[in-house]
Amino acid sequence: MKVFVAEHPLITHKLSVLRDHKTPQPTFKQLIEELMTLLAYEATREVRVTPTTVVTPVATTTGVKLSEPLPLIVPILRAGLGMLEGMTRLVPTAEVGFLGMVRDEETHEPTTYAERLPESLQGRQCFVLDPMLATGGSLAAAIEFLFERGADDVTAICVLGTPEGVEKLQDTVGGRNVKLVLGALDEGLNEQAFIVPGLGDAGDRLYGTAE
Ligand code: PRP
């Protein structure tokens, strides 16, 4: 698994505001989108393209277009939904599938409660969006699901990750074609399996408590 941790002052600046417990919900939402767009630049570095011919007002030249089947973007509900707009702004023709997952507060094990994906992902490049890679359980299950459907190339994009989460993903994906793009690699997990220093509960900060 290839791991990329962003080291860009603009990303770190936006992350610092995002982490602040005083940052209000509308600003938090906007920052998640902006960070996604910045991370998408690295995440799509190996997006598949096909040569094409372009006629400019001056001459005929060569260019590229996204290959078919088009990439599939998979936000993990709820919090991953906050990243979707930031990604589709950059890749507007990509298709979007959804996975709903929730982590048990006691055991920290993920459960899948919703799934809306193409039946076959054969030959598809998939981009999974989730702001938080904590224990790694949710993302590992999501990636496993995509491979079971036939995906052969998965890029996961998270705003924050932990060494524990990266290790869990590494164990799960083995030698398969997976890339992980992180806005930052934090210190680790606390006893509630929250990322430290982290930013709290991304889903709650985006959408409020769901109880
Ligand atoms: C959070 C987060 C990830 C997951 C990370 O979602 O958005 O999906 O937990 O934890 P893990 O790496 O230990 O699996 P949560 O279950 O709180 O659901 P939500 O997005 O609906 O708030």
Strand 110-116 and strand 98-103: the pairing is antiparallel
Cα–Cα distances in angstroms (integers) from residue 155 to residues 32, 50, 107, 121, 128, in the given order? 18, 20, 27, 14, 6
Q: What is the pLDDT of residues 156-202, one digit of tens each?
A: 999 999 999 999 999 999 899 999 999 999 999 999 999 999 999 99
User: For residue 140, how far is its CA from the centre of ligand 1 (angstroms)?
Assistant: 12
- pLDDT for 211 equals 60
Query: d(Cα 75, Cα 78) in Å, to the nearest integer?
Result: 8
For a pocket test of ligand 1, which of 101, 186, 190 has the largest count of ligand atoms closer than 8 A to its C-beta? 101
The token pair at 123 is 């030959």
The answer on pLDDT for 210 being more than 80 is no
Q: What is the pLDDT of residues 123-158, one digit of tens each?
A: 899 999 999 999 999 999 999 999 999 998 999 999
Out of 3.40.50.2020, 3.50.30.30, 3.40.50.300, 3.40.1390.10, select the CATH number for domain 2-207.
3.40.50.2020
User: For residue 198, how far is its CA from the centre of ligand 1 (angstroms)?
Assistant: 13
Ligand 1 shell residues, CB under 6 Å: 76, 78-79, 101-103, 108, 110, 130-139, 165, 193, 201-203
Looking at the CA of residue 134, tell me the nearest atom of ligand 1. Answer: 12
Query: d(Cα 108, Cα 77) in Å, to the nearest integer?
Result: 16
Q: What is the pLDDT of residues 30-49, one digit of tens each?
A: 999 999 999 999 999 999 99
Q: First vs last Cα of the chain: how many Å apart?
A: 36
Exposure of 69 by Cβ count < 10 A (0-12 exposed, 13-18 middle, 19+ buried)? Answer: middle
For a pocket test of ligand 1, which of 28, 132, 158 has the largest count of ligand atoms closer than 8 A to its C-beta? 132
Go through 91-113 and write b for each residue having 16 or more CB atoms within 10 A of its CB, e for each that does not: beebebbbbbbbbeeeeeebeee
Looking at the CA of residue 207, tell me the nearest atom of ligand 1. Answer: 22
The whole-model pTM stands at 0.95
The token pair at 106 is 């006691």
For a pocket test of ligand 1, which of 99, 128, 138 has the largest count of ligand atoms closer than 8 A to its C-beta? 138
Domain boundaries, the chain: 2-207
